[in-house]
């Protein structure tokens, strides 16, 4: 039976941040996930914004953790080589009613100790964002709202955890837990049983299923779907900031912002569902994004869409981010309600959970040799000519462009396949080096990527999957 000091269930942003934080101590740490790769479910389908927490409900754990997390990203993204930019957000008021709300939004930000939120006039906003509706009356500017590569955030934290001795067991679903004398004794998984001194539930949308396994079913989670458009890099109507509507009582509303790699992101919807697998893109959802975002940015070119996607927020009922320990289960930490700001909060949740584990008895001794720095695979497209030449000289595979839309080389793909946490699926490659992320969405490079994965792993092309095992790329041989 596999044994470990701490077992973390879930390798999304939250689970990997906790795993990395634990890897700073002399401990054996194991993180399991049902997916074939790290990256989570919700953590790979969101708006990719590192929030300041200006609009969180004051006094809540979510406010505390999001506000604490934002400043952590300057150092973390440098240390782990993650694309990150503090582009700032603007909230333009488009009518008198919205304009009157600005002082209360600012007051709320102050209650959350976000003091760098400032008023901007109509003229200032239009100078900052020329595509903004000319109806704007004025608005707020929040300079520390930032954008990140959400895929690389999770991959980088996971890789850094592995560099420091943590282990990841993927394609491994937790299916049950046994308790004895007020402790979790055995965790049953599809890859066998695991004995852990401490267990952390960071299973996102499925955290209620895990909690139920230990009899803590005092809440349930429903998915709140968010659909998005992604526009081509070359779209004519672009914004420079995160452009957000004035929120209503019901929703934060739909935004437009650049992604860290230069596409335009438009959305999301907020639809409460019951089916935890429903990631369908719907005509109604897309129409509602168009109607709302055109009010803010009238010239948005949705015909430049290269893809659409949907993510499922883990909406806790009753609501709220909770991190719980229990008198009657001495070695278990339960996270729930990590809903709309969990990408941001993941890093502070990591440190918070380690303190909670300490409070229930986990002995923590700092590792003397913790490795803080991790270097990612070079983004060939963003290098200078001289740097590209240098790379090609070192490794000629960097001279072979496989993905033409995103200028991704064979060298990058091969490096991803043999990286610290090997990329074995099409999506794992896409998330690490962007092959298939561009205008043709893998139409041209897909077959080539399949070939490279098969060659490097020594497997048949037919066994290469898009993501988890059931999603084969090749159905059968025709001839």
Q: Kindly list the distances between the CA atom of residue 148 and the CA atoms of 154, 194, 248, in Å, as whole numbers in the listed order.
A: 11, 34, 26
Nearer to ligand FAD, 80 or 402 (CB): 80
* Least separation in angstroms between CB 147 and ligand FAD: 9
Nearest one of 163, 155, 148, 8 to 72, comparing CA atoms = 148
Q: Kindly list the distances between the CA atom of residue 448 and the CA atoms of 360, 440, 443, in Å, as whole numbers in the listed order.
A: 51, 14, 10
Annotated catalytic residue, options 51, 206, 261, 418:
51
Q: Kindly list the distances between the CA atom of residue 123 and the CA atoms of 15, 134, 241, in Å, as whole numbers in the listed order.
A: 44, 10, 16
* Least separation in angstroms between CB 404 and ligand FAD: 29
Nearer to ligand FAD, 297 or 403 (CB): 297
Q: Kindly list the distances between the CA atom of residue 409 and the CA atoms of 128, 377, 390, 436, in Å, as whole numbers in the listed order.
A: 36, 11, 14, 12
Contact by Cβ (8 Å): 173, 76 = no
d(CA 256, CA 297): 8
* Least separation in angstroms between CB 205 and ligand FAD: 6
**Half-sphere exposure for 227 (CA within 13 Å, toward CB):** 19
Nearest one of 37, 21, 367, 11 to 160, comparing CA atoms = 21
51 is catalytic: yes
Nearer to ligand FAD, 42 or 114 (CB): 42
Q: Which residues pair with 29 in a beta bridge?
A: 6
Q: Could you tell me the end-to-end alpha-carbon distance of the chain, in angstroms, rounded to an integer?
A: 45
* Least separation in angstroms between CB 373 and ligand FAD: 24
Nearer to ligand FAD, 302 or 397 (CB): 302
* Least separation in angstroms between CB 168 and ligand FAD: 11
What does the binding site for ligand FAD look like in residue numbers (CB under 6 A)?
9-15, 32-35, 40-43, 45-49, 51, 173-174, 202-206, 210, 226, 268, 311-313, 338-344
* Least separation in angstroms between CB 22 and ligand FAD: 15
State whether residue 194 is helix, strand or coil: strand
Nearer to ligand FAD, 58 or 399 (CB): 58
Nearer to ligand FAD, 5 or 209 (CB): 209
* Least separation in angstroms between CB 374 and ligand FAD: 19
Contact by Cβ (8 Å): 280, 310 = yes
Residues in the chain: 479
| Pairing relationship of beta strands 255-258 and 329-336 according to DSSP bridges | unpaired
Nearest one of 174, 189, 205 to 277, comparing CA atoms = 205
Contact by Cβ (8 Å): 408, 421 = no
d(CA 100, CA 456): 60
Nearer to ligand FAD, 273 or 457 (CB): 273
* Least separation in angstroms between CB 244 and ligand FAD: 11
d(CA 159, CA 38): 10
List, in sequence order, the alpha helices (H) in 236-364: 283-296, 342-359
Q: How is residue 25 annotated by DSSP?
A: B
Nearer to ligand FAD, 80 or 202 (CB): 202
* Least separation in angstroms between CB 416 and ligand FAD: 19
Backbone phi, then psi, for 159, in 5-degree steps?
-60, -45
Nearer to ligand FAD, 245 or 411 (CB): 245
d(CA 37, CA 429): 10
d(CA 397, CA 409): 7
Q: Which residues are catalytic?
A: 51
């Amino acid at each position: 039976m596999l044994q470990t000091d701490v077992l973390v269930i879930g390798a999304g942003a939250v689970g990997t941040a906790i795993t990395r934080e634990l890897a700073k101590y002399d401990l054996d740490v194991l993180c399991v996930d049902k997916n074939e790769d790290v990256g989570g479910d919700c953590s790979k389908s969101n708006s990719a914004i590192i929030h300041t927490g200006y609009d969180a409900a004051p006094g809540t754990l979510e406010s505390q953790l999001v506000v604490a997390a934002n400043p952590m990203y300057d150092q973390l993204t440098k240390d782990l080589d993650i694309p990150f930019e503090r582009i700032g957000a603007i909230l333009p008021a488009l009518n008198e009613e919205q304009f009157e709300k600005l002082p209360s939004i600012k007051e709320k930000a102050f209650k959350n100790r976000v003091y760098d939120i400032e008023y901007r006039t109509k003229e200032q906003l239009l100078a900052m964002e020329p595509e903004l509706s000319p109806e704007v009356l004025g608005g707020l500017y929040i300079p520390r709202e930032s954008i990140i590569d959400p895929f690389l955030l999770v991959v980088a934290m996971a890789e850094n955890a592995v560099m420091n001795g943590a282990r990841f067991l993927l394609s491994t679903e937790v299916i049950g837990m046994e308790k004895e004398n007020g402790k979790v004794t055995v965790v049953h998984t599809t890859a066998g049983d695991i004995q852990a001194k401490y267990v952390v539930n960071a299973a996102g949308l499925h955290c209620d299923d895990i909690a139920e396994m230990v009899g803590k079913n005092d809440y349930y989670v429903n998915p709140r779907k968010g659909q998005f458009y992604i526009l081509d890099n070359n779209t004519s109507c672009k914004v420079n900031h995160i452009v957000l509507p004035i929120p209503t009582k019901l929703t934060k509303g739909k935004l437009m912002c650049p992604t860290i790699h230069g596409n335009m992101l438009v959305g999301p919807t907020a639809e409460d569902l019951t089916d935890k697998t429903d990631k369908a893109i719907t005509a109604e959802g897309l129409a509602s994004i168009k109607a709302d975002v055109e009010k803010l940015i009238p010239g948005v070119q949705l015909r430049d869409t290269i893809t659409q996607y949907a993510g499922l927020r883990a909406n806790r009922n009753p609501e709220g981010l909770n991190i719980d320990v229990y008198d009657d289960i001495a070695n278990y930490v339960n996270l729930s309600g990590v809903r709309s700001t969990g990408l941001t909060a993941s890093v502070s949740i990591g440190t918070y959970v380690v303190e909670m584990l300490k409070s229930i008895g986990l002995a923590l001794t700092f590792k003397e040799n913790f490795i803080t720095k991790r270097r990612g695979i070079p983004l060939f497209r963003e290098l200078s000519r001289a740097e590209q030449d240098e790379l090609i000289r070192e490794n000629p595979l960097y001279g072979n462009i496989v993905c033409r839309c995103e200028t991704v080389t064979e060298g990058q793909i091969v490096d991803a396949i043999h990286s610290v946490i090997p990329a074995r699926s099409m999506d794992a490659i896409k998330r690490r080096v962007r092959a298939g992320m561009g205008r043709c969405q893998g139409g041209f490079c897909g077959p080539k990527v399949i070939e490279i994965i098969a060659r490097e792993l020594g497997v048949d092309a037919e066994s290469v999957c898009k993501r988890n095992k059931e999603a084969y790329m090749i159905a059968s041989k025709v001839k």
